Structure 1
Amino acid sequence: MVENKTIEIVKAFCRQNIWIILALVVLTLNIILVYVNFLAPSSPPPVVPAVPEPVVVEQAPEGMVRSSLIGEYIAEMSAARRPFAVMLDDFPSARPESGVSNADWVWETLVEGGVTRVMAVFQSADSATIGPVRSAREYFLPLASELNAIYVHSGGSPAALQQLATTKMLTNADEFANGSAFYRRANLVAPHNLFTSIEKLTTLSLAKKWNTPAEVSARQFSDDVPAGGEAAKTATIDFSLPSYRVTWRWDDVHGRYLRFVGGVEATDRENANKVGAATVVVELTKVAPAPRVNVPAAVSVSTVGEGDAWFFRNGKAFTGRWQKKSASSATAFLDANGQPFTFARGSVWVEVASASRKNVVSFSAE
């Protein structure tokens, strides 16, 4: 009886308040619709599997390969050719030198009396007149050896000639034994008038069967500038006398450093091209007196060993180290973290200077 009475009460309430109940139902439905359409969290979009980036394989131009010396494309035939490492005069009256604008790598250091000499390495160039050719020094031999180069010179120091006579690490293209590959210019004064050329040296190497495939340790090259470093629009190496002071000035237009020596811009005698380098390395090492008969102020330069280094590329200076474990091993050029330094693509010039000389290297942001 009680249950029936309750049901009757509910029915009576519904009849009396039907419009209120309907309004509440409609309101509730509207609230639900608004929430579903506007307030409820949206469903996450369907997960689309990531498409991997296509691997871009560098396509070398036909007949071209990346040079292990400069990181640029060169002719396959040039890359297969053993480099020529040519000793060049840097005496003020011998400037400007011939062929240096075509060199891939150049090493420069002291010989005697504060005079510097350079060893220019040629592989990518098919044609170039080179000179004045000068004599060998024993501490250049390990540098030529690491490139499997044909070492081109005219005579040399006693220590250099002794090593060349006994070593198997180098092919010795001495002018004294290979005169056909050299000539003298009558308009210049000896000993600053001995010249050769890529063509003559190539003919010599073919005749002597020296032109075995090159085995050159590749450096690391990149168009990307390494992180860090300091602004260095100019870099100066004070070897000795003012006439041998070298300054490198960054050229934004051509993206390389231009060489000045003794305050004069360096050019190539043959074509008036400016001498420059994409990367300049300053290798600090021991330079000690080396007494020699009739040769005052001769020096010995340690090119095997290790020491501090500076690297200049893209208008910036970077600190690092150099290491060369043996006469035949390649010089390792390392950044501040001990990793191989990344060179800019193009020619490289290595200045080997005394670590004990005060302010031997300096640079400026201007």
Structure 2
Amino acid sequence: MRDAAPTRRTVLRGALAAAVLTAPLTAGCTRHGGPDDGRAPDGSPAPDGSPTPDGRHTAGTGSVLAVKIDNAAAARPQTGLDAADVVYAEQVEGGLSRLMAVYATRLPEVVGPVRSARESDLELLRQFDRPTLAFSGAQRKLLPLIDRAPLRPKTPDTASGAFYRGGDKAAPHNLYLRPARLMSGAPGEAALTTGFRYGRAPAGGTVTATRTVRYPAARFTFTWSAGRKRWLVSMDGAPTPTAAGRRLEPATVVVQHVRVRTSAYHDVLGNYTPYTETVGTGRAEVLRDGRSFEATWTRRAAADGTTFTGADGAPVDFATGQVWVVFAAR
């Protein structure tokens, strides 16, 4: 894949795809708006199905929206990441990281920058009922697998009106999505078939002020804020706000230790894509309320969600709010 490094372009569908990545997708659209301003980026009223005044939905139709988010340094700060119900962090080529943001209870006005999909995303998304996957493209040989997967793939090729190029960053780190042009509304909490349980913290745990997860060329640090009752996110040693200036602050962070192997796909430089295996079982750390809880994660089949249990076999419940799951190689 051509986007493993910040300066590489994503391969979409052969030679014609390069033009998609370098040309504006919407005439006259040079910048992206904030995630919760209630208006389209060009200043027009938001389409039907956009968020309620508080930005949330409790009911709707369909399944979740999953968006592949660029996490190279040149892509930050991202837009709309704070509105996600779940954020998954995975390792990609060159030891870099990429994010997948999942939206069910709230659709922000804009999300991005949007980047390409990976083979292991298809396994991860099987837990949802035909999710909509928004991404910039994929390695050419992977596209048939995506087309056959039980999801609704949306790219600039198939939904050009939903994507646009912002003027705040250089290509390819400036592709943004208007979710309301893909979905009539947020599907609601019932669409989050992740297997996660929410409730009171289990007994015990280890007082934890900070936790860092390292990839070969990226790192995530989560620092507990007692005042905010949230984990403050830093990436590569720097505090991580959104484009609107809001600090990313999940209520629960999961460090999920998984097998990361080499996939069958590689970029033009011969760098093979890591495949993150999310079906199986293994060790996990659940961070909530300023403590770390040792757990075992289990996902028996791709269509199942993931459960987390303590040493006594009881479920380890998450705190109410945004969840980050960071896949760490075991």
Give the shorter-chain TM-score range: 0.7 to 0.9
Task: Give per-residue Cα distances to partners, 1:115-144, cap 9 Å, x unaligned.
Answer: 100000112224331000000111122222
CA distance in 2, matches of 1:215, 1:106: 15
1:280 and 2:253 are equivalent in the alignment: yes
Structure 2 equivalent of residue 240 of structure 1: 216
Between Structure 1 and Structure 2, whose CA radius of gyration is higher?
1
Please give the residue correspondences for 1:119-138 in structure 2 after superposition, counting only pairs within 5 Å.
Answer: 119-138=100-119
Gaps of 5+ in 1: 1-72, 356-366
Question: Relative to 1, partners in 2 of residues 1:303 and 1:184: Cα closer, same or farther, differing over 3 Å?
Answer: same
2:94 aligned counterpart, secondary structure:
coil
Q: CA deviation at 1:74?
A: 5.5
Task: Give per-residue Cα distances to partners, 1:256-310, cap 9 Å, x unaligned.
Answer: 10100011101101x1100011000011111123352514253121122221111
Aligned match for 1:161, one of 143, 148, 168: 143
1:121 aligned counterpart, secondary structure:
strand
Structure 2 equivalent of residue 225 of structure 1: 201
Aligned match for 1:250, one of 224, 227, 242: 224
Aligned residues: 272
2:171 aligned counterpart, secondary structure:
coil
1:139 aligned counterpart, secondary structure:
helix
1:86 and 2:67 are equivalent in the alignment: yes
1:264 and 2:238 are equivalent in the alignment: yes
* Percentage identity across paired residues of the two chains: 31
- Bigger share in helix: 1
Structure 2 equivalent of residue 182 of structure 1: 163
CA distance in 1, matches of 2:314, 2:157: 42
RMSD: 2.3
Gaps of 5+ in 2: 1-54
Please give the residue correspondences for 1:15-94 in structure 2 after superposition, counting only pairs within 5 Å.
Answer: 75-78=57-60, 80-94=61-75
1:142 aligned counterpart, secondary structure:
helix
Task: Give per-residue Cα distances to partners, 1:237-264, cap 9 Å, x unaligned.
Answer: 01122xx211000011111101000111
CA distance in 1, matches of 2:56, 2:172: 34
CA distance in 1, matches of 2:197, 2:188: 24
Question: Relative to 1, partners in 2 of residues 1:213 and 1:173: Cα closer, same or farther, differing over 3 Å?
Answer: farther
Higher relative contact order (CA 8 A, sep 6+): 2
Question: Relative to 1, partners in 2 of residues 1:293 and 1:74: Cα closer, same or farther, differing over 3 Å?
Answer: closer
Aligned partner letter, 2:259: K
